[in-house]
């Protein structure tokens, strides 16, 4: 858990419920190898993906008054695709904090772009559940969008 404190510093957010952060950083391969049942990040990823899409759409709607629906959709896709999210996850070194199963670790899963993007979406979901929409929106705008929208 001390390791996760470093992640909290990197993202400038301290979790009240540390289990949410732990779950966000737990890949299913790690959970499946655990002796006791362990929650992993896929449900948080699902939630985080939806929140990210919503925040991106809201920001684009508010800041691009004269763009068509097609242009807004194209621009949103820039900020919510796996390639971009994996890049952002690498910048905050999410791979260092991922709990991976033995096989996934051997396959260098901490550098796998899909694992990184999924963990970042799970982190968004965890921050939302631990706080509120305003807080997760701030995280998304500053860390993921870098205030570019």
**Among all residues, which ones are annotated catalytic?**
49, 121
User: Does residue 126 contact residue 23 with C-beta atoms inside 8 Å?
Assistant: yes
Instruction: Answer whether 101's CB lies under 8 Å from 30's CB.
Output: yes
* Residue (of 142, 102, 141, 93) closest to 120 by Cα position: 93
82-96 CB burial, b ≥16 within 10 A, e <16? eebbbebbeebebbe
What is the C-alpha separation between 148 and 60, in angstroms, rounded? 10
- Tell me how far apart the alpha carbons of residues 83 and 88 are, in angstroms, rounded to a whole number: 9
The DSSP H or E segment spanning 115 is: helix 113-130
Residue 85 CA to residue 65 CA, distance in Å, equals 26
């Amino acid at each position: 858990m001390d390791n996760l404190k470093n992640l909290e510093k990197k993202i400038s957010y301290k979790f009240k419920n540390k289990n949410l952060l732990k779950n966000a950083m737990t890949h299913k391969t790690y959970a499946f190898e655990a002796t006791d049942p362990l929650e992993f990040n896929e449900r948080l990823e699902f939630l985080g993906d939806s929140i990210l899409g919503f925040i991106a759409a809201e920001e684009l709607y508010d800041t691009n008054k004269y763009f068509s629906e097609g242009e807004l959709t194209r621009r949103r896709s820039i900020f919510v695709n796996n390639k971009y999210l994996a890049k952002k996850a690498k910048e905050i070194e999410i791979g260092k904090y991922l709990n991976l199963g033995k096989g996934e670790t051997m396959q260098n899963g901490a550098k796998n772009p899909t694992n990184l993007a999924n963990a970042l979406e799970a982190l968004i979901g965890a921050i939302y559940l631990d706080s509120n929409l305003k807080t997760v929106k701030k995280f998304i705008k500053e860390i993921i969008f870098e205030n570019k929208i």
